[in-house]
């Protein structure tokens, strides 16, 4: 119970930071990605997350699953939205995908189950390709006209983005089995991505970006079912 609470609070803190105001961070968004210089307080917060479960370098194969998730949230927080739905979706989904790639690399390093290893290999390959595609879209949309108000909780698109973060805030108890933990965390991760992509499909304006979002919804909904089928046989279904 204690471990569940600690993990839930840590992820909630990171996610609230990702959805909150970025005034303490200096960011530069380009078509090649996002770079950021976090404020001292933000760096300390993320270093604290990196220390969970012995993580040495969150977001890389030398860290932990929870560390990779925290790194992903840091990258999403560092992204500076311009107020264009399609452009900002592309940047946020790139960071989201990078989290899945990092967690998949950790599974491939430490996992033993053949099914999970196969899924991790596929997810890593698929999402690396999608990151490249999203990067091209984001570059094309740099400077696009504003059509929503970032960080405004009353804005309809922002509300959808905030809602999409909630699946990753659900309490999860690490089992100590990397295959099971990967499956559970990827259900939460994919559920978040699906909700974000559905918001793009519903509110986006750019045809190419909307088509990409539809592909994400279809692919990750299928993978959520595959993860839950595996969990049913190996430790319990992850309900979202």
Whether residue 155 is contained in a domain is answered as yes
Residues 6+ apart with CB under 8 A from 225: none
* Percent helix, percent strand, percent coil in the chain, to nearest 5: 70, 5, 25
Whether residue 23 is contained in a domain is answered as no
Query: According to the model, what pLDDT value does residue 7 have?
Result: 46
Whether residue 203 is contained in a domain is answered as yes
Greater confidence (232 vs 21) lies with 232
Whether residue 80 is contained in a domain is answered as yes
Give me the chain's average pLDDT, please. Answer: 78
Residues forming a β-bridge with 200: none
Range of the domain at 223: 2-17+31-234
The pLDDT of 36-56, averaged and rounded, is 32
Is there a contact between 69 and 11 (Cβ–Cβ < 8 Å)?
yes
Whether residue 239 is contained in a domain is answered as no
> Please, which pLDDT band fits residue 238 given cuts at 50, 70 and 90?
low
Query: According to the model, what pLDDT value does residue 9 have?
Result: 35
Whether residue 35 is contained in a domain is answered as yes
The tens digit of pLDDT for each residue in 204-233 reads 999 999 999 999 999 999 999 999 999 999
What DSSP element (H or E) covers 70?
helix 65-78
> Please, which pLDDT band fits residue 79 given cuts at 50, 70 and 90?
confident
Is there a contact between 64 and 54 (Cβ–Cβ < 8 Å)?
yes
Domains identified in the chain, total number? 1
- Between CA 203 and CA 107 the distance in angstroms is 35
- pTM, whole model, 2 decimals? 0.74
Whether residue 26 is contained in a domain is answered as no
Share of the chain above pLDDT 70, in %: 72
> Please, which pLDDT band fits residue 237 given cuts at 50, 70 and 90?
low
Is the pLDDT at 100 greater than 70, yes or no? Answer: yes
Greater confidence (1 vs 189) lies with 189
Query: According to the model, what pLDDT value does residue 131 have?
Result: 97
Is there a contact between 198 and 171 (Cβ–Cβ < 8 Å)?
no
CATH number at residue 97: 1.20.1260.10
DSSP 62: T
């Amino acid at each position: 119970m204690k471990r569940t609470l600690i993990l839930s609070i840590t992820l909630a803190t990171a996610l609230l930071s990702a959805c909150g105001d970025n005034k303490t961070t200096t960011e530069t968004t380009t078509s090649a990605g996002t770079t950021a210089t976090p404020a001292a307080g933000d760096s300390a917060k993320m270093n604290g997350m990196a220390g969970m479960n012995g993580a040495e370098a969150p977001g890389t194969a030398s860290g932990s699953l929870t560390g990779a998730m925290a790194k992903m949230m840091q990258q999403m927080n560092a992204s500076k939205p311009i107020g264009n739905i399609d452009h900002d979706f592309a940047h946020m989904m790139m960071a989201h995908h990078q989290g899945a790639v990092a967690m998949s690399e950790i599974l491939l390093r430490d996992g033993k189950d053949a099914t999970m290893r196969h899924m991790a290999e596929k997810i890593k390959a698929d999402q690396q390709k999608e990151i490249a595609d999203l990067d091209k879209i984001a570059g094309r949309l740099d400077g696009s006209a504003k059509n929503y108000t970032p960080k405004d909780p009353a804005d309809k698109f922002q509300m959808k983005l905030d809602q999409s973060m909630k699946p990753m805030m659900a309490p999860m108890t690490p089992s100590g089995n990397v295959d099971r933990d990967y499956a559970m965390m990827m259900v939460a991760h994919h559920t978040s991505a699906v909700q974000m992509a559905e918001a793009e499909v519903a509110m986006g304006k750019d045809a190419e970006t909307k088509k990409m979002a539809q592909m994400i919804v279809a692919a990750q909904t299928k993978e959520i079912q595959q993860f839950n089928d595996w969990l049913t046989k190996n430790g319990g279904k992850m309900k979202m």
